[in-house]
Amino acid sequence: MIRLVLKIFVLLSIFFERGSVYAESINPPRLKISFKTKNEDTTHKEDIIKSCKRLGKRLKVSGGPFGIGFFSNFSCFINNDKIYGKLKDEKWFLDITEVNDTIEIELKLKTTRQSFFSIPNYQESYHYLTDSGILDLISLQILNSTPALISLPSNNIRTFRDIRMTKALKNLNLETIHPKKLTLYTLNYSSNDDLWIPTLIGHAKIKKISTEKKKKNGKKIKINKFTWHMNLDSKLTKNIRLWAHLSSGRSDKTSNKNISDLLSSAFKNIEAQSLISDNTLLTHNKRSSEDSIKRPNDLIFKYGTQFLAKDDLLGKAYLLIGEFQLRHGFLNGVKINYTAAPKINSEDDFGTAYISWNRYSIGYSLAIEFDSVINRIDITPHIGSWKLSAKLPIITENEVFGHEFNIEKSTLLGMEIGIEKIKPWYLARAWSIFEKSLDSKKLEKVQLTSLKFGLNIAFYPGVRLPIFANILRPNIQIFSQVESIDLHSEESSVQSAESIDVSSLNYITGYLGAGLGFSW
């Protein structure tokens, strides 16, 4: 029996020593990651440190999704200043360089380029580069061009995680980039010839081993785990380091394109969620267990002056607007608006004409989002209250007389429809609102209907206020709106010498204005 075992051992050892190589067997190398930014900003620095650590971890052996990883350890630098890790005879360099509207990612072995690709540069922050899902895709793209995508232990079955499903990867088909089949090999490097010299050992297929359900934040979520089923040419006699790459080859074009397309879609998702420039959201995310990206909440104050009506009274009109909108969190979708037209008056033949009104509303937005020319369409049914006090001039052929309309406190119902275009540095919104006051026996029998159209543009200059833990980010608002208001009295009144019935009145105003918003 002992003799038989010995024979088997000898045969196996002979087999695996066939075709030994002339080059040195490699161990996982170290990596130096260098971020090169256009300007130094402490806020950016926090995000870059986080991004670098997360990316470096994914590039380490078994550190990424599906167990991918090539490097043993890493160090991080920002503009040549070390921020993490130790520098120790690195031969591999990952440069992440900010160039205008793109960020270029280049992997080099000494001075030889191994891979190069670029991603959008959202000028206000690097916080989108801390997103776990996006970093998973970037690490796959980088490792696709290294001499090995993954290192698998030959005598140990391990399970590996899936790509992190953050909101940036929402609705994306990630199956296309799952590394399904690998070629297994040992790997040597000949520095004289600058050649990677593999020894083919076998193949491995991915296997989804379980779909676990875990309670996270009180919710059940699905977690996919994977293992690699290895098919070796023969049993290995000892634990040796096996390297593996996609069977389709290093830096396979189809694989690269699939990852690149997904990255592109992920960035569009971020754009659509209008979160790119909002560092505060990342701060928020840091507190949560997931680093998904969310749309900002807004508090906006605006002032608009009348530009359309030409008469003495309405020509003086102006608006004060306050808006509060929640786009993430517990009350996501809630929208509160308060608009006031302070009292203005003018002297007329019949005396003093005047008008003042204010209204507030609270609504709930239902939205559909797109990766297209338009990024979002929403409808917001709302309810509120209206108050109006006016004495408006009625002009006939022979005379001018005043007519009073009073609404002390009337309930209003309304519907808003809006479409949005979202870019990293601005948000443009075109909208229309129809509102109608309801009858109330307690109040004057005057009905009011309003139809408005408008355009709002918010510009995000990319600074944050040094209060409330730097979570507030100001933005500049400009807007224009045209409003048609119908006033209708159920009881007509005789107000003039010509006994004219005045039961309804319509006037149109247009406003142009600006304001200041705060996002978090």
Look at the block and give the residue holding tokens 């870059």: 48
The answer to whether residues 485 and 506 touch, using CB atoms and an 8 Å cutoff, is: yes
Site string for other proteins, 278-317 (x = CB under 8 A): ----------------------------------------
The answer to whether residues 168 and 281 touch, using CB atoms and an 8 Å cutoff, is: no
What single DSSP character describes residue 374? S
Secondary structure tally for the chain: helices H, strands E:
5, 24
The residue within the footprint of other proteins, chosen from 75, 130, 151, 183 (CB under 8 A), is 183
Site string for other proteins, 187-226 (x = CB under 8 A): ---x-xxxxxxxxx--------------------------
Give the nearest distance from C-beta 131 to other proteins in angstroms.
26
Q: Name the nearest CA neighbour of 250 among 183, 310, 300.
A: 183
Query: Considering only 112-120, 271-279, 347-355, 485-493, which stretch makes contact with other proteins by CB under 8 A?
Result: 112-120
Site for other proteins in 8-27 (CB under 8 A): 9-11, 13-15, 17-22
Between 198 and 315, CB nearer to other proteins: 198
d(CA 79, CA 482): 51
Site for other proteins in 60-89 (CB under 8 A): none
Between 195 and 400, CB nearer to other proteins: 195
Query: Considering only 106-114, 316-324, 372-380, 381-389, which stretch makes contact with other proteins by CB under 8 A?
Result: 106-114
d(CA 268, CA 263): 9
232: contact with other proteins by CB under 8 A = no
The residue within the footprint of other proteins, chosen from 56, 65, 147, 515 (CB under 8 A), is 147
d(CA 468, CA 367): 29
The answer to whether residues 242 and 186 touch, using CB atoms and an 8 Å cutoff, is: yes
Give the nearest distance from C-beta 20 to other proteins in angstroms.
5
240: contact with other proteins by CB under 8 A = no
Q: Judged by CB under 8 A, how many residues of this single chain contact other proteins?
A: 42
Q: What is the identity of the amino acid at 462?
A: G
What single DSSP character describes residue 468? G
Give the nearest distance from C-beta 10 to other proteins in angstroms.
5
Give the nearest distance from C-beta 198 to other proteins in angstroms.
5
Coil, strand or helix: which one is 279? Answer: helix
The residue within the footprint of other proteins, chosen from 180, 225, 241, 250 (CB under 8 A), is 250
Give the nearest distance from C-beta 132 to other proteins in angstroms.
27
Tell me, rounded to whole angstroms, the distance of Cα 449 from its chain centroid.
Answer: 37
Query: φ, ψ for residue 126 (rounded to 5)?
Result: -105, 15
Between 109 and 472, CB nearer to other proteins: 109
Per DSSP, the residues of 115-183 read EEEEEE--TT-SGGGG-HHHHHHHHHHHHTTSS-SEEEETT---EEE-----GGGTT--GGGG---EEE
Query: Considering only 49-57, 246-254, 264-272, 341-349, which stretch makes contact with other proteins by CB under 8 A?
Result: 246-254
- Using the CB atoms, write b or e for 426-451: b if 16+ within 10 Å: ebbbebebebbbeeeeebbebbbbbe
The residue ranges that bind other proteins (CB under 8 A) are 3, 6-7, 9-11, 13-15, 17-22, 112-116, 145, 147, 183, 185, 190, 192-200, 234, 245, 249-253, 256
